[in-house]
A = this chain, B = another copy of it.
Amino acid sequence: MGIHTYKAASVLKETGMMVESNVRGFKVIADEPKALGGTNMGISPVEGLLCALGACQCMTARFFAMLLKIDLTQYQVDIEGDVDARGFLNADSGIRPGFQEIRLTVHVKANAPAEKIAELLALVESRCPVGETVFNGVPVVVRHIQ
């Protein structure tokens, strides 16, 4: 119940943009659409980040709904995020390469009093692990092996 270290490994395929990641035996393909030089065999990494965030919000809602004994009948999160490609292409642009803003629209239906649903939504906002990570940022340590 203390600290757990999650692990993944991502390998760039021989040509093109395709990347295969492995997590506990699961294989995840990332790619870019053809317009961006890929072969469109999977979602792109920035989309992967949005999915991870949306999924984490949903699971966090399930967990705390069980704890609060709320009968959750719908929980859907629509996620969108803005990236300005000029930040990626040109360091002098002064534009950040990453997301500028992420917006979540949460559709929730539950058989529970309004104040209990409000309590649930507040818990999801403050406790969602991926949400808290992307909102506050996290130290990233990089090591190179050549």
- Interface set of A (CB-CB < 8 Å, partner B): 1-12, 16-17, 19, 21, 23-24, 26, 28, 30, 32-33, 37, 42-63, 72, 74-89, 91, 96-109, 117, 121, 125-146
Q: Are A62 and B17 in contact (CB-based, < 8 A)?
A: yes
Number of identical protomers:
2
A78 to B110 alpha-carbon distance, docked (Å): 40
A25 to B136 alpha-carbon distance, docked (Å): 30
Q: List 19 A-B contacts (CB under 8 A).
A: A1-B86, A5-B81, A7-B78, A10-B58, A12-B58, A12-B74, A12-B76, A19-B54, A21-B55, A30-B55, A45-B52, A45-B56, A49-B130, A98-B133, A100-B138, A101-B141, A121-B144, A134-B134, A135-B137
- Supplied contacts A28-B43, A45-B52, A101-B139, 7 more A-B pairs, CB within 8 Å: A3-B84, A7-B80, A23-B47, A45-B55, A99-B138, A102-B139, A108-B144
Q: For residue A76, which residues in chain B have a CB less than 8 angstroms away from its CB?
A: 9-12
- Closest CB of chain B to A132's CB: distance in Å? 4
- Closest CB of chain B to A105's CB: distance in Å? 5
Q: Are B11 and A109 in contact (CB-based, < 8 A)?
A: no
Contact with A86, one of B2, B79, B142 (Cβ below 8 angstroms):
B2
